[in-house]
Amino acid sequence: GAVVSQHPSRVICKSGTSVKIECRSLDFQATTMFWYRQFPKQSLMLMATSNEGSKATYEQGVEKDKFLINHASLTLSTLTVTSAHPEDSSFYICSARDPRTGSGNTIYFGEGSWLTVV
Amino acid sequence: SQELEQSPQSLIVQEGKNLTINCTSSKTLYGLYWYKQKYGEGLIFLMMLQKGGEEKSHEKITAKLDEKKQQSSLHITASQPSHAGIYLCGADNAGNTGKLIFGQGTTLQVKP
């Protein structure tokens, strides 16, 4: 079964509102989680690294004030898209590295969340 | 920065045929991950390769990493419709950080 879970799987929000997406590691603790964005028919683009107990690290070109990341516990990271606009509509997906897999550190991904801003 | 190039971009094969997908890196790979994705869904972990010359298999899928650790191949034997999807290779960009950069993906269709 899934070891990384996201919620909601689909969300529709009105332009100008904020929406929160959750990413949970189910069987292990993750001090670090990662958020990606995937445009239609394209590959994944890393947005930011979520760090438990400290600020997230954002990739170049990603607006930290628009995409707020909070890593409140060792099993939960949240991505909040603030003041959403239609161009923020996308597939957002998180990942976490399973420390139980040793030096290989298998990286698992969530199911993804479809955001549609209308 | 590191770039990953996958080939082919898309592939249509007849059920029962073998196929290979390649992933080439512009830099030495620390860790190379293979995932399968159905469009609009999450990524399913297939295999992770770390050592030069390493080869791993799971059911009918075999992945190899070359000795120089700059190229990986994913081979599917006797393909089935269930193998259809998007195959993505990902590389740990800075050495075991967990941050992955991805190739552009290979879309596989298997005709019954």
pLDDT digit string, tens, across residues B38-87: 988 999 999 999 889 999 998 999 999 998 889 999 999 999 999 999 99
- Say if residue B36's pLDDT is above 70: yes
B chain contacts of residue A6, beta-carbon cutoff 8 Å:
42
Interface membership of A32 toward B (CB under 8 Å): yes
Pairing of strands A67-73, A57-58: unpaired
- Closest-CA distance, A114 to chain B, in angstroms, reads 8
Say what the pLDDT of residue A99 is: 80
- Say if residue A1's pLDDT is above 70: no
Taking only the tens place, the pLDDT of each residue in A67-98 is 999 998 999 999 999 999 999 999 999 999 88
Residue A48 Cα to chain centre, angstroms: 8
- Integer Cα distance of B27 and A39 in angstroms: 25
Say what the pLDDT of residue B76 is: 98
Taking only the tens place, the pLDDT of each residue in A38-51 is 988 889 999 999 99
